[in-house]
Structure 1
């Protein structure tokens, strides 16, 4: 393996970026290639394919403010990271470098260009992120999860391949579980997840929404909810008072299996979440993160809404009354839940890792 071509995967330290990188890395290893991860310091808390021996941490920073001091600090960190990444390129001599979005991918992708190494960016969103927009004209090829992302830019569209979002093995395994609708009087399995930027609003809205449901539905609910530790006591108090069968945790390591066993998912609409809902095929109520410059989560949720695989609710309309109405309506309509599951699955791509690996090998000349 020491003589096998090396592929460097660059990803920010969040699951939305790391999971597709891990899925591609797994596929590339199957093909006899070597892989390394270049990431930021946040990734050290993740366990998975990339062991410490396979990981290089490169400093980076997100543009958080337009103030001169903040921009200067970001610029210094990105420049430092680029120098470190450039030395990595010269030492490791990768056959190609693939970035999965976010500002932590800027140093390694810029360094790849400076070192004359082929490069690819992958964008999982329905609207390309700012870091990938900056890199798009500087890389060898572009991969997107969804069609039409770059139709407005013919020069970029010409070097773009639609691959889908690579899925980690746990999601592919979960995708093999058929959706079984709830009986009209049987258990209704509800999964509520929020991610790093969404769990608070779920803690604020979901418990009072559950309280507004009819008592007969309380007895049917099997509720799994991601809750931040600081919100745990107040959320648990509501469900205990209502005698709801609830499993509350700050993080679920077995989330793919929980997705697959759910009848309805309430969630933010990050690119990874939407792709996994589509791959597994589960009905959902999606609440896009508000305030994003590109409104990427709103566009992501629209992918499933357009095929009737999800209900999209903007946060200003995401009230306890509205959520209670939607849950009650779906609980009484198992056939609609089944249709939503089927429609969501129709938007999924299960062979994305193979498609992206094909593109990597083509760009790398392997």
Structure 2
């Protein structure tokens, strides 16, 4: 995560807006939950029940610390208010949740505060930077991690990862996957043992050749999302998409078809688990089969030559059954052409 520079005017305006955002989150959370509780109160027990509810949904110590911190600090988060609001909108509906953040910085206390009673875990490459941040905010759950890639290797990694079977979407995993250089194998057990509802990628550093780059973080986030067993999608937020490598790896592994929002330098993806595709395939397996094909399928900048069957569902939706993995596209036929570069029916 880059160390930002600020002007006094920008800091003042941002602190006011950010404090309002956190206070609004507290009010929103308390109001929604309290209304539900009040509806079940009897007249005799109303006062005591209301007091219990107020205590249960009172601001957490971390939230109060966050308000005080940002109200008295001239240092503000790296992301803009508009970018922060994208993640905040999701947290309003998903919190308390499991929130994994690649990067530790001036926004970390804010992210923890916006996920009260949930798990927010930060992964940071620089041990000294961890000490600097945690010294002032000891309630943060932060771990130091080591990256084995360098930004200057990005193009080579993108070209060669397909030659390693354990990097393929259908077979990739993280813990102990030493054959795939893009898999993060040295993370804390907590990262592997939990399913993450939200993943924010705002680190490691990726602005000079010897920096680790975010290639492995992006790949690993995609693997986590695809391996999800719980219900719902995994929300992945990638910052600094104005940079070539971030954008290139996002298109390759997170895929544009899952991109739901782009604000400033932030992209928001909603990635379904691979199990959803299996269930959908089962439902469509009786659809009219148009024939087998040898396809070159494009996901972003990648080209994959695969065997597939093409089918049609209700005349407007296309499904693809790939031979080496279970993947599904359901979109108007004209849109599917964006993914198919060339094909010949067998």
- Higher radius of gyration, 1 or 2: 2
Identify the structure with bigger relative contact order (alpha carbons < 8 Å, sequence gap 6+). 1
Decide which structure has greater strand share. 2
TM-score, normalized by the shorter chain, greater than 0.5: no
| TM-score, with structure 1 as normaliser | 0.28
Normalising by structure 2, we get a TM-score of 0.29
Q: Which structure: greater helix fraction? A: 1
